[in-house]
Amino acid sequence: MFGGGITVTTDCYYFELGDFDLQSGETLSDAKLAYQTYGRLNRKKNNVVLLPTFYTGSHSRNEGFFGVGRAIDPAKHFIVSVNMFGNGISSSPSNTTGDQQGPNFPSVTLFDNVRAQHQLLTTKLDVNQVALVTGWSMAGCQSFQWAAQYPDMVTSILPFCASAKTAEHNWVFLEGVKAALTADSVYDNGNYQTPPEKGLKAFGRIYAGWAFSQTFYREQLYKAMGFDSAEALLQDWEQDHLSWDANDLLCKLASWQAGDISQQSAYNGDFSKALSSIKARCIIIACDNDLYFRPEDNQIEVQQLANGELRVYESPWGHCVASQGNDPEFQRYLDAAISELID
Residues 48 and 128 in one domain: yes
- Give the number of domains in the chain: 2
Residue 216, domain CATH: 1.10.1740
Sign of CA dihedral 188, 194, 195, 198: negative
Residues 180 and 156 in one domain: no
The pLDDT mean for the chain works out to: 96
- Work out the angle between the directed axes of helices 168-182 and 197-211 (0-180°, nearest 10): 150
- The per-residue pLDDT for range 229-250, each reduced to its tens digit, is 999 999 999 999 999 999 999 9
Query: At residue 156, what are phi and psi to the nearest 5 degrees?
Result: -155, 155
Q: What is the largest CA-CA distance in the chain?
A: 56
Nearest to 210 by CA among 241, 176, 183, 255: 176
Which range is least confidently modeled, 7-21, 53-67, 110-124, 209-223? Answer: 7-21
Residue 211 in domain: yes
Residues 45 and 123 in one domain: yes
Range of the domain at 176: 170-253
pLDDT of residue 203: 98
Residues 217 and 275 in one domain: no
- The per-residue pLDDT for range 180-196, each reduced to its tens digit, is 999 999 999 999 999 99
pTM: 0.95
Residues 45 and 126 in one domain: yes
Residues 36 and 99 in one domain: yes
Residues 133 and 272 in one domain: yes
| Burial environment of residue 231 by CB neighbours within 10 A (0 to 12, 13 to 18, 19 or more) | exposed
Residues 47 and 133 in one domain: yes
Residue 120, domain CATH: 3.40.50.1820
Cross-sheet strand order for the sheet of 281-287: 7-8, 13-21, 27-38, 78-82, 48-52, 132-136, 156-160, 281-287, 308-313
Q: Which of 253, 272, 294 is the last residue of a domain?
A: 253
pLDDT level of residue 67 (50, 70, 90 thresholds): very high
Q: Which of 189, 220, 253 is the last residue of a domain?
A: 253
Residue 299 in domain: yes
Residue 130 in domain: yes
